[in-house]
Amino acid sequence: MEVLEGLYYSKDHVWLKIEGDKAYIGITDYAQDSVGDIEYIELPEVGTEFTAGDVLGVLESAKAASDVYIPVDGKVVEVNNNIVDDPSLVNSDPYGSWLVLVELKNKSQLEDLMTAEKYKKLLEKG
């Protein structure tokens, strides 16, 4: 499983790429592999506000529908419509295919997330 350096990771297999006070959010290679071939993605509208732990969206495959949990408080400022139109992009490039861009409400929450090294250890434990 690929794990990229320089990102933050949640125990729910979500990654965050920080740019200033905003974060691109997507699912990890492990998550896309577990879900299987993604056929449909349900994402929130721009302007939607979330609290850490809320369901950000839903990924549907032939296997199952899987909730994606947001690990930080934030407000959606952009949705990646490319993956809504072609959900398979998340399978082929999980780290290049972000789901949403959020404005972070509390950057100190990033301290509760994992570095790439810690996330790799989580995956090794199974």
pLDDT of residue 63: 85
Instruction: Burial-class residue 52 by CB neighbours within 10 Å (0-12, 13-18, 19+).
Output: middle
Q: How far apart are CA 124 and CA 118, in angstroms?
A: 10
pLDDT of residue 36: 94
pLDDT of residue 126: 77
pLDDT band, residue 1 (cuts 50/70/90):
confident
Of 111, 93, 99, 81, which Cα lies nearest the Cα of 8? Answer: 111
pLDDT tens per residue across span 45-96: 999 999 999 999 999 999 889 999 999 999 999 999 999 999 999 999 999 9
CATH topology of domain 8-105: OB fold (Dihydrolipoamide Acetyltransferase, E2P) (2.40.50)
- Spell out the domain ranges in the chain: 8-105
pLDDT of residue 7: 98
In the sheet that holds 55-61, the strands lie side by side as 38-42, 55-61, 65-69
pLDDT of residue 86: 97
Q: What percent of the chain has pLDDT over 70?
A: 100
pLDDT of residue 43: 98
Mean pLDDT across the chain, nearest whole number? 97
